[in-house]
Amino acid sequence: VSPVSDPEVGDASRVLHRVFGYDSFREGQQEIIDHVVAGGDALVLMPTGGGKSLCYQIPALVREGVGVVVSPLIALMQDQVDALTALGVRAGFLNSTQDPDERRQVESAFLEGELDLLYLAPERLRTDSTLRLLDRGTISLFAIDEAHCVAQWGHDFRPDYLALSALHERWPAVPRIALTATATEATHAEIASRLNLEKAHHFVSSFDRPNIQYRIAPKNEPRRQLLKLLRSEHSGDAGIVYCLSRGSVEKTAAFLVENGIPALPYHAGLDARTRAANQARFLREDGLVMVATIAFGMGIDKPDVRFVAHLDLPKSVEGYYQETGRAGRDGLPSVAWLAYGLQDVVQQRKMIDTSEGDDAHRRRLQTHLDAMLALCETVECRRVRLLAYFGQHATACGNCDTCLTPPQAWDGTVVAQKLLSTVFRLQRERRQKFGAGQIIDILLGRETAKVTQFGHDSLTVFGIGTELGEAEWRGVVRQLLAQGLLAVEGDYGTLLLTDASAEVLGRRRQVMLRREPERAARARSESGS
Ligand code: ADP
């Protein structure tokens, strides 16, 4: 019998000291652990780094039987089991990477009562043989990690998770604890209903990460901007750089290496061995930069990640929160930096249009994108907006970019009308569709080959927008897209009017725009204030 699973010595605080070597619980842990030890169901919303694992590991050790942990992170199971084994905890896992022999060994250990924790990939629970196996052992609890994966409304839905609703029916007496580091109120409610956890106790921690400085910058030359950031603020620091595509991961990693910054690529197109090796180096060595797609990071526990940079716009605020949350788990000051431009909106819109799934699914993706755009374009404190998205209240942080260099809000109704009427002339009067480049050339009165070819120099709107420069017009397009006053479609990012555009054109709606900080500073000094 393992000393740690002996109920006589198994009280939670003692396990915390003896097994894990920690002095005290972190905020929230003790209440959750006591509740589950006593046999209650729990739904835990706790940010990354908050210490979720102990919330099911300790009850699994204190209660009689084996704690069954459902996790989608197959690649990390070996590491998790190794780490527990090193602490003297008897742990094993069952997933598709094992050969039949290894699987049989774990199964018999489970049946003999020689395990404290058993990690399972969710698809295992779809097989009858696994269910029958579980029937024959004693289960102390079910832990459902990354529980947001059960929510279709969320950003990381995994169909295999739907099978988890059956746990309660099959083993009604076994307590369940579901955990996630990201959930809006809608996702939270969906997790509760899909997993039958409405009557469970819900433990919701604050999602505030005060040591993370949030910054969202206009994107010009993203790799150069990144390099500048790393050289000026993060030399020698470990960090993660997220890119949308595998190609851009490869190029960015190579670019950093050429410029003397130790960087490694990580994406699903690399073979499993390279991925595992790069991940292991990132965890072990100091000062490495991991350039990755979002395939990287869930479950990665590296305390001293000093920055998370996004070179492309995340698809949702939940994704952004979870990815940036990998910075500064040690509580020291860290930076979340995102570069964002018009092209991101065009690209994401295109991905939504061509995504698989029904209209409801596409609408969901669009809602996620809209919330992300609103966060990018806000003139308020980023942290306030971020927490509000998760239904939590905060006061201005004084640390994010909008707090430090407040952008000005300005009345952009007239420029919006100019831009929208240009789109109107082309779309409604000439049945033509063009992207931002052509529209801006018309507004600026540029006689390019393409302008003269289509006779756009004879439009009444030709040259009516010279009060702004090209970059500023691109900012206006971006913000009108973010506000739903303009839409974009197709491979070439064609701009189209929306129902709301008519309100602006009909002078029934005022349009407030955000002036980028450097332009705001210039405007302030020009106006003498
Ligand atoms: P999460 O799953 O919420 O992201 P983890 O469970 O991985 O967080 O915990 C994050 C880190 O905090 C780990 O290194 C863990 O060992 C450490 N930790 C958790 N609880 C405590 C505690 N009570 N005291 C000290 N360290 C803790």
Q: Cα(203)–Cα(190) distance, rounded to whole angstroms?
A: 15
H or E stretch at 177? strand 176-180
In the predicted model, is pLDDT for residue 519 greater than 70?
A: no
Specify the pLDDT at position 86.
95
Contact 145, 119 (CB under 8 A): no
Q: How many A from CA of 26 to the centre of ligand 1?
A: 8
Q: Which residues are near ligand 1 (CB < 6 Å)? A: 22, 25-26, 29, 46, 48-54, 181, 301
Q: How many A from CA of 53 to the centre of ligand 1?
A: 7
Q: What is the mean pLDDT of residues 122-146?
A: 94
In the predicted model, is pLDDT for residue 73 greater than 60?
A: yes
In the predicted model, is pLDDT for residue 8 greater than 50?
A: no
Which residue type is seen at 337?
A: W
SS3 305: strand
Specify the pLDDT at position 146.
93
Summary mean pLDDT of the chain:
91
In the predicted model, is pLDDT for residue 5 greater than 70?
A: no
Specify the pLDDT at position 166.
86
In the predicted model, is pLDDT for residue 153 greater than 90?
A: no
Q: How many A from CA of 50 to the centre of ligand 1?
A: 6
In the predicted model, is pLDDT for residue 466 greater than 60?
A: yes
Contact 501, 432 (CB under 8 A): no
Specify the pLDDT at position 7.
47
User: How far lies 202's CA from each of 13, 31, 189, 243, 250, in Å?
Assistant: 22, 11, 11, 34, 42
Q: Higher model confidence: residue 65 or residue 73? A: 65
Give the Cβ contact number of residue 327 at 10 Å: 29
Q: How are the residues of the chain apportioned to helix, strand and coil, as percentages rounded to the nearest 5?
A: 45, 15, 35
Report the residue among 15, 23, 26 best suited for mutation to probe ligand 1: largest number of ligand atoms under 8 A from its CB. 26
Look at 36-40, 301-305, 421-425, 460-464 and tell me which has the smallest mean pLDDT. Answer: 301-305
User: How far lies 66's CA from each of 20, 24, 58, 139, in Å?
Assistant: 18, 25, 12, 5
Specify the pLDDT at position 515.
84
